[in-house]
Amino acid sequence: MQYSSAMAGLRERKKQRTRRALIDAALQLFARKGYADTTLAEIAATAEVSTRTFFSYFSGKDDLLFHDGEERMERALALLAGRRPGETAGALLLRLVEAGFGWALEDEALTFEEAELRMRLIMAEPALRARALLLMYDGQLRVAAALRQACQDELDEVEAAAAVGALFGAVKLAVMAHLGHDRSLKDIQTTARRAAELALDGLRALDTPPAEARQGATRAAGRVPVEPPGMAS
């Protein structure tokens, strides 16, 4: 049994090394030749594996730039499902942003240079931009649904979707704007947190009980809140 476990662990480590070698080879070639001019055969040869082996790990070149997205999404959904007692929706979302960058910093293979290169390649190639937008849209829908489930007594579907859209948009744009200025993943994390806090400042109504929020909006619009039939004193 111990021998079988050891062999399974060895095989998994070998798979991870091969996977990482393919990613490193691709990024090296993309940086030197450009994404469009790099072939799968060149990536496989640089990583010293066959093209058949390449397809055991990735379905195509674009997968090499989006390889960690689903794993992080699963962790994000788990974090939302594990909402802490008394935690507001705003605090939960801020914790999600911080956790996301914490996961990136845990990845010893991910460097600032790699993150910057991946972003630059995605923005330069229309097909990659299209996939990134599709993944972002799908991801936001999944996160909004998970937030709604975690905070169903406080948020409706519209509020959850608006909160996630505002937060993700603020963080993504701020990080993209500062990629040319920040010089470490820590710097990017600081930028992302600031953007998240600014976005959440505009979403403080989410931390207000629904009845209070509705009455506050009614007063702000210059209207007198109307009690449901049978509730007037």
Q: What is the mean pLDDT of residues 51-74?
A: 93
pLDDT grade, residue 216 (50/70/90)? very low
Minimal CA–CA distance to 119: which of 16, 21, 27, 22?
Answer: 27
Distance (Å, rounded) from C-alpha 125 to C-alpha 136?
16
What does the pLDDT look like over 112-139, one tens digit per residue?
Answer: 778 788 888 998 999 999 999 999 999 9
Distance (Å, rounded) from C-alpha 117 to C-alpha 86?
40
Distance (Å, rounded) from C-alpha 199 to C-alpha 116?
24
Residue 51: predicted pLDDT: 96
pTM of the model: 0.76
Distance (Å, rounded) from C-alpha 20 to C-alpha 30?
15
Distance (Å, rounded) from C-alpha 230 to C-alpha 95?
42
Residue 7: predicted pLDDT: 64
Residue 8: predicted pLDDT: 66
Residue 23: predicted pLDDT: 94
Query: Is the pLDDT assigned to residue 218 strictly greater than 60?
Result: no
Q: Which residues contact 194 (CB under 8 A, 6 or more apart)?
A: 174
Q: What angle do CA 208, 217, 87 make, to 5 degrees?
A: 10
Minimal CA–CA distance to 114: which of 44, 191, 16, 26?
Answer: 26
Q: Which of 143-152, 169-178, 208-217 has the highest mean pLDDT?
A: 143-152
Percent share of the chain, pLDDT over 90: 51
Q: Which residues contact 186 (CB under 8 A, 6 or more apart)?
A: 105
**What does the mean pLDDT of the chain come to?**
82
Cβ count within 10 A of residue 221: 7
Query: Is the pLDDT assigned to residue 88 strictly greater than 70?
Result: yes
Residue 109: predicted pLDDT: 60
Percent share of the chain, pLDDT over 70: 78
Q: Domains of the chain (ranges plus CATH)?
A: 2-63 (1.10.10.60), 68-206 (1.10.357.10)
